[in-house]
Structure 1
Amino acid sequence: MFPQSSQKKFWTFSNEQQLNSLRLQQNVTYINTHGSDMNQEQRDDFFLSSIEERILLKQYELYLNDFCRRFEPPMPKCVVGTAFHYFKRFYLNNTPMDYHPKEILATCVYLACKVEEFNVSIGQFVSNIKGDRNKAMDIILSNELLMMQQLNYYLTVHNPYRPIEGFLIDIKTRSGMSNPERLRPHIDEFIEKTFFTDACLLYAPSQIALAAVLHAASKEQENLDSYVTENLFLAARDKLPVLIEAVRSKLKFGNHK
């Protein structure tokens, strides 16, 4: 499904440079629009640089993860993954100087709940927010359409959780590992770390899933090399070097928070 998806076609990018270029472009456009009557020194003092925007958004990614972790009722993992997708996509085409990350964060999570069919009412949702909940409700509902527009209405997100389940079943069937379930804590930790990278905008969910499984296996001192080379890539040996390099790159992303 992923190869034919809107996520693959419109929201998966070739490299980090492409992402950084989009972010820089948004920053420059905003500053040129709102600081046309300022000299360069005034602009530097008044506006955030592209690097400062990235630091700010990284902080709000931590808040997003913490909000989802504390949410009641407990939030499915797929909702968290989809919310992070939306948050990262939104700020490829917008700047935090124009749309405050705190408001966009809540809107991303609320929309992700709907799309992933995690049925909570807006009242239940804002009960998890500290402060003025009526104001929060108004902000979220007023931003919901904006969010969908900025995502070009491509709301379906393919997360790595489904291929992870497939890998674990396959490992139990075709490898010598007796209890693949013991890999799960390390897998979950790895996937959570990828939320704070651009991995979901650069790699297929199956690549992220495989990297998570291999990372977990190494943590448990299990060797899955023969399983990968003899089973997964048997029909595509000519592509093996490229696939392995993609997985190795993913491991680097996942280990960098």
Structure 2
Amino acid sequence: MIQSSSTSTDISSAPKTPLFHSSTQYRNWRFSAEQLHATRTALNKAAVAAIRATFESDSPGSSSDIHFLDAREEHLLVKLYITKISQLCGHFHFPEEVEATGITYLKRFYLKNTVMDWHPKNVMLTALFLATKTTNHPISLESYTANIPRTNPSDVLDLEFLVAQSLAFEFAVWHAHRALWGMWLDLQDLPQSPPHEELQKIYDTALQHIRTSRLTDVELVYPPSQIALACLSLAHPNITAYWARTKNADVALEAVESIKRMITQDGDVPSVDVVREIDRRLKICKNPEKVVGSKAYLAKRAREEKEAELKRMKKAENVRKAAEQGNPFGEELAERSNLDDDD
């Protein structure tokens, strides 16, 4: 009995691991700024090399005059389409959770792909539509596409599996706006907090900073609680310091300074003129294998169809041989069935 009580005490006094640390976001979607730069640069270089080779195989020398996008320009184009997600969410009256999740999906997609392979417009539409489902705010595909000019259901459905696959089917996202909501509730219970009306203004300002932060890489580098604290500090440094003292989290205030710098320095909307020029060049250097009707596209489809036909023929041959041998399950299963139970 005494031993059991001691064990119970030891367990209860052990430091608790934050729930966020068990998430796929914590394990798989956190990077340093240097890692993000290296990842985007490597993807860009690989895409340029592959697209250049495709152009050259079709027409030698044809790639010499093409001005390919660099990683920074790709990132600017993605950043512009982040703002398009916000506009669409306003049009459809989607909640904050849908908007934030759609933006996260778009960012994560372009850590595995490049805009020269997949244009952000359709990826953005697909990421947002996927977010409505994963956050339990579904909308019919017909209603969704009917309210977006020059958009067909196939524009969304054709990329849905690719987007989900690029996300590694890890759809749950921890967001800073939810962490901010918890901090705001805490502040209302503290004895020296400002009146509710003032707290509401502080919260609204901090939430606007969180929305600005979505234009940056902070969510790919820092946990949502630190981002929320940084945005609260941007809104009202004194009340943030007060909250941190009550939580014995003063050290966290030092960690958020770099987040505040990222938000204030990188949270601007890209120049439309600059991005328009990038998009114009993208039409020229887009991977021709992804352009429906192009020679490279038709050649790739022909290769894929030939490979699929060879697989079908091989499968049919295996089935034929199995039938001739009187074994409908094939050779591999036959070998397994002959094994003893102890094998």
Q: Scaled by the length of structure 1, what TM-score is found?
A: 0.87
Other-structure match for 2:50: 33
Q: Is the 8 A contact 1:31 1:43 kept in 2?
A: no
Equivalences for residues 11-160 of structure 1 within 5 A? 11-13=29-31, 15-36=32-53, 37=56, 42=63, 45-71=66-92, 74-131=93-150, 133=151, 135=152, 137-160=153-176
Residue 341 of structure 2: aligned partner: none
Equivalences for 1:233-244 in 2 at 5 Å? 233=248, 240=251, 243-244=252-253
Bigger relative contact order, structure 1 or 2, given CA contacts below 8 A and separation 6+?
Answer: 1
- Cα distance in 2, alignment partners of residues 82 and 255 from structure 1: 22
The runs of at least 4 aligned residues of structure 1 exceeding 6 Å deviation read 38-41
Distance 2:144 2:236 in 1: 37
Please state how far the C-alpha of 1:41 moved relative to its aligned partner.
11
CA RMSD of superposed structures (Å) = 2.1
> Which segments of 5 or more consecutive residues in structure 2 lack a partner in the other structure?
1-18, 268-343
Q: Which residue of 1 aligns with 2:256?
A: 247
**Preserved CA contact (<8 Å) 1:215 1:251:** yes
Which residue in the other structure is 1:231 paired with? 246
2:51 aligned partner, one-letter code: H
Query: Which residue does 1:2 correspond to in 2?
Result: 20
The alpha carbon displacement at 1:117 in A equals 0.5
Deviations 1:36-69 (A, max 9, x none): 3499994573421122212222222222222222
Amino acid at match of 2:40: R
Q: Deviations over 1:182-201 (max 9, x none)?
A: 21220221011111100110
Shift in alpha-carbon separation, 1:167–1:47, aligned structure 2, 3 A: same
SS at match of 1:97: coil
Secondary structure in 2 aligned to 1:208? helix
Residue 81 of structure 1 contacts residue 159 of structure 1 at CA under 8 Å; is this kept in 2? yes
Q: Does the C-alpha gap of structure 1 residues 106 and 78 become closer, same or farther in structure 2, counting only changes over 3 Å?
A: same
1:52-99, Cα deviation, whole Å (9 max, x unpaired)? 21222222222222222222xx11101111111100000011100000
Q: Is the 8 A contact 1:208 1:247 kept in 2?
A: yes
* Whole-Å separation in 1 of the counterparts to 2:166 and 2:241: 42
Deviation at 1:233, TM superposition (A): 2.4
Which residue identity is paired with 2:247? L
Identity %: 28
- Distance in 1 between the 2:37 and 2:65 partners? 19
CA distance in 2, matches of 1:197, 1:63: 15
Contact 2:241-2:253 at 8 Å conserved across structures: no
Q: What displacement does 1:146 show?
A: 0.8
SS state of the match for residue 224, structure 1? helix
Q: TM-score, normalised by structure 2?
A: 0.66
1:43 and 1:118, CA in 2 relative to 1: closer, same or farther beyond 3 A? farther
- Distance (whole Å) between structure 2 residues aligned to residue 126 and residue 176 of structure 1: 50
C-alpha distance 245-42 of structure 1, shift in aligned 2 (>3 A): farther
Amino acid at match of 1:66: Q
2:33 counterpart letter in structure 1: E
